Amino acid sequence: MNPQDVKACAARAAAAGNKGDWAGAIADYTKVIELNPHDANAHAFRGIAKANQGNWDGAVTDYLKALTLNPDLAIAANRLENYKSNLAGAMVDNNRTVELTPKLAIAYYERGNGKADKGDWAGAIADYDRAIELNPKNAAAYNARSSAKGKKGDLAGAVADLKRGLELDPKK
């Protein structure tokens, strides 16, 4: 890959994020931002990756930068609102993001995590299903769905998803 190719860096960053490789996504989005500091999407998605690592301050900084560059960027606005309404941690209630980006696997994965945090196992499973449908190689979604299925009592489904998640990413 040409390290100066913004589109290639952005695609690799998105792929890393969809796999749950937050460090890889941050590194690649940082490269995109170095090459094009006015890329609001890169700032927003780097913020998402930082939030998934628990770096809330870094995430908010990126969301604010994204909104400075593009005040209509819904994903950044939604994430910022989630942060303000839930300072303790998890980014929840991503309905608006899913509405605005219905083909983005990570949006469903994130919303599924929010539903799981609330104990809505059926809702979480539905969102993980959609995330996997959009990106069948998303090990993190299989692992999260495994947990939700286990909580719901579907042990066979939980084991199958856990096995698939491990096949896709043995480190997880």
Last residue of a domain, one of 70, 91, 112: 91
**Whether 98 and 131 share a structural domain:** yes
* Total-model pTM: 0.53
**Which stretches of the chain drop beneath a pLDDT of 70?**
1, 81, 83-94, 96, 100, 172
Structural domains in the chain (count) = 2
Q: What is the pLDDT of residues 63-111, one digit of tens each?
A: 888 888 887 777 777 777 676 666 444 444 567 677 767 887 877 888 8
- CATH code of the domain containing 147: 1.25.40.10
- Dihedral, 152, 135, 11, 56 alpha carbons, nearest 10: -10
**Whether 120 and 86 share a structural domain:** no
**Whether 37 and 109 share a structural domain:** no
Last residue of a domain, one of 91, 125, 141: 91
Instruction: Report in angstroms the alpha-carbon separations of 144 from 107, 125, 126, 150.
Output: 14, 8, 11, 10
Supply the range of the domain harboring residue 111.
Answer: 92-172
